[in-house]
Structure 1
C-alpha cells in the first residue's frame, strides 16, 4: 500500500477521462464520477466537522462514517463491486435512534444554524442529499447496489439529528423558522 500513490500527477486524465478501479476509463463528466465526487466532497465536510468540539463517542462514530464514505467511494469506483452492506445502513439506523431519543419533538421547521459545529452538520446534510441525488441519477444509467443510496439517505437524516445534538452540546437549542416573522420596515434595513 505504501507505493500505491507514489506518483500523483500521471497526466492520464489530460484528455478528460479518468481511470476506474477495474482498470477501465470513463469521462470525468460521467454520472459515476459525479456521484464519486459528491461522496468525496461529503467526506471532506465530515472531516471539517470533526475539527469542532463534540462528545468523544460522537467523534468516534463520525470517524467510522468517514471510513464508510471512503468505502462507498470505492464501491462507486469499481463497477459491480460491493463494499457497503445492509449492516452499514443498520448501524446508521441505530445511531439515528440513539441520538434522536433525547431530542424534543419538532413543532416547527428549524433553520440550518446555531453553533458552528451544528451548522457544519447541516452543510454535511445538504452535501449528502446532493450525493444521494447523484447516486440515484447514476442508478438510472448503470446497475449499482441499493445500499450506497440507502446509506447516504440515512446519513443525511443522521446529520440533521446531529446538528440538533451539537447545538445542545454547545449550550444552545434549535434555531426555529418563524413563519409569522414580519419583514423589517425599509428604514430599519439601512
Structure 2
C-alpha cells in the first residue's frame, strides 16, 4: 500500500495547529539508523486509509519528496471527540532485520462449529490481534484462527495459531500463551437443560394410575 507525504519544515504546537487548519496532518518517520524526518499528509486521505485493516498491519511504501521508503505505522493520535487525526508516526523497516509488530486475527468457521450449532455454545474472541516477529518480507496481513473444532468448555491459545513460515510469536507471548478464543455454554442454556433433565426423570419415576 502506497502513502504519499510531503516534507515538513516547521514544528511545534502552533505550526501543527496551522497545518491541521489547512487539511494536513503532521507526522514523523524514524528508525533504521537514519535521522527522523518530519512529514505532512493529506488528512482526508489518511483518515480513509486508517479505516483499512491492511494500513495498520502491513509494510507501507511511503513516498516523501519523490523518494520511497518502507515503513510500518507505529502510532496514531486522535482528537478526543472530533474526527481528526492529530499526529501519525511511521517506523522505517530494514529488510534484513526482524521486526516486532501486531497482526490482526481472522476467526474462521465459527458458524459451522458443532458446539455452536448443536449445543448452543457461544465462542468469544478474547484477543483480536497478536504480537509476532519476522523479517519484513514474511509479514502476513493477518493470521487465521480455525474455530471449526473447538469444543464447549474449551479454549484456543496463542500457540494454537498456525503460523506461516518465517513467523514466530514474540518471546513474552510464547511464554504466556494467552487465550485467544473460548467456547462456553450460556448459564441460561445450562439451566434449561438441567430443568428438562429433571422433568424427564420425574416423568419416568411416575407409576401409571390404576
Q: What's the TM-score once normalised by structure 2's chain length?
A: 0.28
Bigger Rg, structure 1 or 2 = 2
Structure 1 or 2: more strand by fraction: 2
User: Could you say which structure has the greater relative contact order, defined with CA pairs below 8 angstroms and 6 or more residues apart?
Assistant: 1
Which structure has more helix as a fraction of its residues?
1
TM score, norm. by length of structure 1 = 0.30
